[in-house]
Chains A and B, each alone.
Chain A
Amino acid sequence: MRQNRKWQSLKYLLLSIAALASLIPVYWMLTISLKTDADQLASPPQWFAFTPTAEHYRDAFVTRSFGSYLITSTIVATLSTLCAVVIGTLAAYALTRFQMPVKANRRLSLWILSTRMFPPIVTIVPLFLMMRDLRLINTIPALVIVYTAFNLPFVVWMMRGFFNEIPREMEEAAFVDGDSRLGALRRIVLPLVTPGLAATAVFCLIICWNEFLFASVLTQTEAAMTLPIGIAGRVTQYEIKWGVMSAAGVVAMLPILIFALSVQRYLVRGLSLGAVKG
């Protein structure tokens, strides 16, 4: 019994260390964003005892154009999520509910998944050239289009899983009531998959919001930059304004943390493309 209690305390100790290790670096960024330039350089480092200032936030979002990056990010993430979810959900429904000839359902699903598997760096040059020919470089549509394609396989696989969990009998009952295919989808199936649909959409938002590689190639002007590109552009300059960077980092991170909390239940599933049901 005594040994058991010792083991229990050791467990808590290890878990606390892991939790702290996860949080301390993020907290450090938060403090830097709230410290004056002089306080940032204080030695020994000040974790708690400093007078917080909002000057870096003001500097980033009022004086500099981080506010504009924030708006671009929001528009791009929302539009591309909307497109991917609508297109992908319809495909997922068809793939789970209809018998296609020669096992086309399974083959199509695997093909769709495989497009998500190759490294994005492979297609970046062709996509850049395509967008240049279409004169879409440095525009919001370019990112919306690319992110829609990037998220589609994810949406199809997630929604396939959610549709498969709904018994077909429910739709058959709707047909008895005289519903058409699409009527049954709208009236019976969609309400049942709404939680899954919402979780899928949130994952798409997170992926778009965080995306860096495509955005860095497709948007180079202030007006079209997303938040990650704005931050990265400042980090790699010679004289770095650490307070401004940190403030922008905190703002970029907050919506994601809220989103992530809201989909905790589906986190494993979303992160493994539906391969593991948590």
Chain B
Amino acid sequence: MQSPLSVRQRFFSRFSNRRDTALSYLLVAPTIFVLLALSIYPLIFAIKTSFQTGTADSLQWSLANFTRLFTDQFFFAALGHTFVYAAVALTLEFLLGLGLALLLNSAIRGRSLFRALMLVPMMLPPVVVGVVWRLMYNTDFGAINGTLKMIGVNTENFIWTASPQIALLCAVVVDVWQWTPFVFLVLLAGLQAIPQEPYEAARIDGSSPWQTFRYITLPLLKPAILIALLLRTMDLLRVFDQIYILTEGGPGFATETVSLYIYRTAFRFFDFGYAAAMSFVLLLLTNIISAFYIRILQREEEAR
């Protein structure tokens, strides 16, 4: 008769024997190969390209692409647009998403229906989102101007995405429309994971709803908030598709973000070196910002 313990030990040895190690490498190898070939190699190639100037026949190593960045007012304008876009959209999406999550985090009828309906925009292809909002903003038959006209507003001067002053804001509205549901969904999941005990304790202590929110809900929701903000920030900094369809960066340069400018530099002017230099900067910025979030997240986990 074998004791249960020795049975377990035999299996444990089976988990870590040499054949298993070989098998594990075999199973991971295809993934590593694909990622090396199609993510890491292109990344290194891009960094290399950014340090080269000249045509394909006579490439030279130089820093010219990077020095050019500092004198390129279009690049700084694009950077500015990207940050304004990201900051405004992130703020609005967070506030609206939190509000909706709090509203829906209670026993009400039709909860799953509301949840499902609100998720529609997030799942749409970005290209379709672009089409949808071009139809909304359109000055001839757009739903916005049409409705305003119906209630007697003179819409002659409301040209929305055609106006250099507010085109970027119009693009932000589209982003908020599409991505608030994501923030809402993550925060709702976070809210539902909070245990009931602290709330009961707070009720016994007679704390006000605001105090409960400020000292119980917010701190316990912090990890979910950080993850939602991290993922949104990364996406906002690289925004491309919706803006490309909605305005193509225009009118003029009014809604050109960094990704759009890189795209144009690479595939309209075929200046791959300069495009690579700009994407290097974008990569660096994204990394710095995400490292900042991840650090807070880790500190949060250690504090637990």
Contacts and interface: CB of A to CB of B under 8 A. Distances in A.
B149 A44 contact: yes
Chain A contact patch, size range = 35 or more
A90 B143 CA distance: 49
Nearest to B235: A119
Interface of B: 7-8, 11, 14-16, 20-21, 23-25, 27-28, 30-32, 34-35, 37-43, 45-46, 49, 99-100, 103-104, 106, 108, 114, 116-128, 130-136, 138, 140-141, 143, 146-147, 149-150, 177, 181-182, 185-186, 188-190, 193, 224, 227-228, 231, 234, 237-238, 240-241, 244-245, 248, 259, 262-263, 266-267, 272, 275-276, 279-280, 282-283, 286-287, 290
A257 B266 CA distance: 34
A60 interface: no
Which of B122, B125, B134, B262 has the largest number of chain A CB atoms within 10 A?
B125
12 contacts: A29-B128, A43-B146, A95-B28, A99-B16, A117-B234, A122-B43, A145-B38, A149-B34, A232-B244, A235-B245, A256-B124, A264-B116
B132 A26 contact: yes
Contacts of A259: 123
A11 B131 contact: no
A264 B37 CA distance: 34
Contacts, number: 282
Which secondary structure characterizes the binding site on chain A?
A: helix
Contacts of A253: 124-125, 128
A107 to B, nearest CB: 12
Interface stretch (A15-23, A48-56, A187-195): A15-23
B241 A275 contact: no
Contact of A235 (B14, B130, B224, B259): B130
Contacts of B127: 210, 212, 227-228, 231-232, 235, 249, 252
Contact of B49 (A98, A126, A130, A210): A126
A3 interface: no
A209 B118 CA distance: 21
A105 B137 CA distance: 50
A58 B202 CA distance: 62
A7 to B, nearest CB: 10
